[in-house]
């Protein structure tokens, strides 16, 4: 039940950030779905294979990147309309809060450890999106080459 509730929260966060970022109204629901699917794939892989947070974020961000490119082709809109709201559930805000709290409480060694985890998590999200972008560009380029008409 907790997993389903988190899925609903990730959908809601992506949906309303699409509203905040002024996406077209017809894309609110697809943007929410993309964010929820990216989060769901990362969490499912993490639970099935007992992966650390870094890998969960990478898999989720990669799925998010691929899904945003698919939705961009379906709706003929830029992929960033789906990508930016979809990233929101992955942002390690809770960890950043814990790091700030540790600094305020003068637990500097704990703060450094948490800050490193935040940086590595953010890097894994960026790497997942980068790999998805390159994968999509490679696939689109190859598809164009294969389907070009010969003269």
Name the nearest CA neighbour of 28 among 85, 87, 92, 105.
85
Tens digit of each residue's pLDDT (9 = 90 or more) over 34-70 = 999 999 999 999 999 999 999 999 999 999 999 999 9
Query: pTM for this structure?
Result: 0.90
Tens digit of each residue's pLDDT (9 = 90 or more) over 85-121 = 999 999 999 999 999 999 999 999 999 999 999 999 9
Helix (H) or strand (E) holding 128: helix 108-146
Contact 6, 74 (CB under 8 A): no
């Amino acid at each position: 039940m907790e997993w389903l509730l988190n899925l609903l929260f990730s959908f809601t966060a992506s949906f309303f950030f699409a509203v905040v970022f002024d996406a077209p109204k017809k894309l609110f629901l697809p943007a929410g779905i993309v964010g929820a699917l990216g989060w769901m794939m990362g969490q499912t892989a993490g639970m099935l294979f007992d992966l650390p947070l870094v890998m969960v974020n990478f898999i989720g961000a990669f799925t998010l990147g691929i899904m945003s490119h698919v939705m961009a082709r379906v709706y003929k809109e830029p992929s960033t309309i789906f990508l930016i709201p979809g990233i929101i559930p992955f942002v390690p805000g809770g960890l950043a809060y814990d790091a700030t709290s540790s600094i305020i409480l003068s637990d500097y060694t704990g703060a450094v450890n948490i800050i490193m985890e935040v940086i590595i998590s953010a890097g894994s999200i960026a790497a997942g999106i980068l790999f998805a972008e390159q994968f999509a560009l490679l696939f689109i380029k190859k598809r164009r080459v294969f389907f070009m008409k010969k003269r």
